Amino acid sequence: MTWETFLWTTLGAFLTLCTFSFLYKDNPFYKFAEHLVVGVSAGYFALVLYHQILIPNVFDKIFDGEWWYIIPALLGIMMWTRFSRKYSWISRWPIALYMGIASGMAVPREMHARVIEQMHSAMINIIDMNNIMGNSFFDTASGIAKLIVFIGTLSALFYFFFSKEHKGFFKGISQFGIWILMIGFGASFGYTVMGRISLFVQRIQVMRDWTVVAWADEASGAFAVFWIITFGVFAIWAVFEIRKYLRSKRSTA
């Protein structure tokens, strides 16, 4: 294991601990990790935008003789007048143009992806029994699932139909629509939680890799001792913070 690999692994372990320290309360270690992430991300995306968007789409186009690309370049420069109190009004024109074009492009795309395609996926030929029952057990389960999705979609839409009072048969369909919505929200929330747990497991694996590297490589012994001292500092700081908290609770009691 090279010193460079061990150094980066150690840095990742340290920043992981700094981030986890927020579970106790906000502290300088967490602030350091937070500011580092924001700064590195901003610098990285600035370089990406410069090399992958600005240079190929503006400078290269202009130098290749496509002079009309000067117009979007000027519009981009006009946006920087936002930082001037006197000329900030100039930035409203390119921003308005950008928002108008972006909205015009996003609305049909979102309608197609989130409405039309979803409607197409929810619609099945319920008259054709082969589409529902299928030719085997697994086909039957798939067909029933599609039928449930179709009925659930209609029931959820019925719930948001406010031009008629929800009572009688209409109330029953609306109540079933509420159940469908709750199931959908619960599944989305569970998927989000599992994604966060996956990130947590990945960070725990980073800590495991650091311990393997620290104790398996004899050349890393000095760094291992250094990190043991670092963890000790974390523990001592936590003890002092807890004692301070207990004293404040006793004084207010």
pTM flag (> 0.85)? no
**Integer Cα distance of 70 and 58 in angstroms:** 8
Residue reference for tokens 């001037």: 84
Q: Taking phi first (over 0 means left), then psi (-120 to 50 degrees means alpha), and beta for anything else, what does residue 20 get?
A: alpha
- For residue 150, the model assigns a pLDDT of 81
**Integer Cα distance of 61 and 231 in angstroms:** 54
At 104, the pLDDT band (50, 70, 90 cuts) reads very high
- For residue 253, the model assigns a pLDDT of 60
- For residue 34, the model assigns a pLDDT of 92
**Of the candidates 166, 153, 89, 84, the residue with the CA atom closest to the CA atom of residue 117:** 153
**Integer Cα distance of 17 and 13 in angstroms:** 6
For residue 135, the 8-state DSSP code is S
**Integer Cα distance of 71 and 97 in angstroms:** 12
Position 128 pLDDT exceeds 60: no
pLDDT 10s digits, 209-245: 776 666 655 545 555 666 666 677 777 777 777 777 7
10 Å CB burial of residue 230 (0-12, 13-18, 19+) is middle
Q: What is the mean pLDDT of residues 57-65?
A: 88
pLDDT 10s digits, 158-212: 888 877 777 887 888 888 889 989 998 999 999 999 988 888 888 877 777 776 6
pLDDT 10s digits, 26-58: 888 889 999 999 999 999 999 999 999 889 988
At 136, the pLDDT band (50, 70, 90 cuts) reads very low
Ranges of each domain in the chain: 127-213
Higher pLDDT pick, 68 / 245: 68
Position 2 pLDDT exceeds 50: yes
Neighbour-count burial for 47-86, b at 16+ CB within 10 Å, e otherwise: eeeeeeeeeeeeeebeeeeeeebeeeeeeeebeebeeeee
Higher pLDDT pick, 167 / 138: 167
**Integer Cα distance of 137 and 141 in angstroms:** 6
At 114, the pLDDT band (50, 70, 90 cuts) reads confident
- For residue 189, the model assigns a pLDDT of 92
- For residue 154, the model assigns a pLDDT of 84
